[in-house]
Structures are given as structure tokens and as C-alpha cells.
Amino acid sequence: MATFVLVPGGWHGAWSFEAVVPLLERAGHAVHAMTLTGLRPDDDGATVAAANLDTHADDVLRLLDRTRVADATLVGHSYGGMVIAAAADRAGGRISRLVHLDAYVPRDGESCWSSTTERYREVFAAGAAANGYAVRPPDGGDPRRRPHPFASFLQGVRLTGALARIPRREFVYCSGWADRTPFTELRTRLRADPEWRVHDLPTGHDAMHEAPEAVAALLLGERAEDASAHRGPARP
């Protein structure tokens, strides 16, 4: 039995994985879908203002401590890729697999802000204009989305190199929004890295909603030998 910890992207909560969770549980696995600090319905303005990337990494570490998980698969969507990288680096060997689901894969010192495109930096800045600390959700989308702590988009991640010891690291590229995705260059970089496995899904960014069965199958390893998966070139 595997243990999955599902970390949502910006503005989202645990509900963003609502169609995937039962599919993983039906397969006999333990699943923890998270809502990060500052995104919970009862979080006040002070909590949102104080939350940053470290706060969100600590949310994941506290869950691992509370559940005593020692062999977790961390799945991060979009901004959640920043969170799972930061948490895994500090988890002391308790992570066996990372899955960046159309998500940022930072290097030491990088932030969501520095890793994204100018288009999304403009979205972040405009969304935070009202109070300077909470980025309102872009227009449209699920009404359950909440203002996102701006500091978490801005803070650079601190990585020690521990991620290199995690046995499985995977990146999922959602190709159905190629005209807007900030992840095309990242996909190219990771496809050339023998330490990463890259998968393609023909969906928009919110693959969990568009194709929950495909996302669950990928997480369960049922697409492992599919032509949509690619390993980087072998080392000489």
C-alpha cells in the first residue's frame, strides 16, 4: 500500500483532488489531500499575510509527522511543485517518490515568481494590488478558490541536494494548453535529465478535473510503460 500526499496549486484546496482521491483509495492506498495554510476557509487576513513557502512545506512535514508516514509519494500540482520540493528536501528520507503534476520543479534559490512567465507574474501582481499580501484568483474557474498568500509565490526555495536521493522523480506535462503553459522549457530540461521521468497528458492545466482517471492511472503506475512516458538519456 502506498501513501499519497496531494498538494494543490495556487488558490486551490484539497477539493481540487476530489475526483482523484476515491480512485486511489479504491485501489487500496492511503490518501491525504491537503489545504495549505492561508487557503483554509477560516484563515484570517493575518494568517494569509504571514504564510510563505516555508509555511506550506511545514504543513506537509506536520502531516508526515502526524500520520507517521515513512514512505510517502508527494504529488504537487502547479505551485504545489514548489511545496513538495521544499518539503521533500527537509523530510529526512521519508519520501520515496515525487510527482510534479504540471508543476514547477525548482532549483535552489528559485521561486514560483522567478520560475514562471511574465504573463503569470502580471497575474500575481495585479491580484495582490488590493492589499499587497493576498493574490485574488484569476477570473473564472471554481468558486471555491481563495486568495493565495503572495509571499509564498515570492519566496525562494532552499534546497540542500537531498532531493537527489529520492528514488523516483516524475514530471507530468499537460499539453492541452500549449499556448499558455509556463512549463514548456521545464519539460525540455527534465526530458534531458536521466534522473527524471517525464509523462505527457493531453489535457489542460487542471488535469485532475479533466481526466481524473488518467491522473490516477499515472499515479498508480498503470501508464509506466506507455509511450507518453520518457526517461532522459542514459548516462555514459
Band (pLDDT 50/70/90 cuts) for residue 233 is low
Task: Establish if 12 belongs to a structural domain.
Answer: yes
Here the cell at position 181 is: 503553459
pLDDT at 224 over 90: no
Task: Establish if 111 belongs to a structural domain.
Answer: yes
153-187, pLDDT tens digit by residue? 999 999 999 999 999 999 999 999 999 999 999 99
> What is the rounded end-to-end Cα distance, in angstroms, of the chain?
35
Closest to 10 in 3D by CA, of 78, 76, 58, 57: 78
Q: What is the average pLDDT score of the chain?
A: 94
Question: For residues 126 and 32, what is the distance between their CA atoms, to the nearest angstrom?
Answer: 32
Task: Establish if 37 belongs to a structural domain.
Answer: yes
63-84, pLDDT tens digit by residue? 999 999 999 999 999 999 999 9
Task: Establish if 236 belongs to a structural domain.
Answer: no
Question: For residues 173 and 150, what is the distance between their CA atoms, to the nearest angstrom?
Answer: 25
Structural domain that includes position 153: 3-231
- What CATH code is carried by the domain that includes residue 103? 3.40.50.1820
State the total domains in the chain. 1
Instruction: Report helix angle 80-90 to 53-67, nearest 10.
Output: 60
- What number is the average pLDDT over the span 4-9? 98
Task: Establish if 62 belongs to a structural domain.
Answer: yes
Band (pLDDT 50/70/90 cuts) for residue 227 is very low
Task: Establish if 13 belongs to a structural domain.
Answer: yes
Task: Establish if 213 belongs to a structural domain.
Answer: yes
The reported pLDDT for the residue numbered 234 is 40
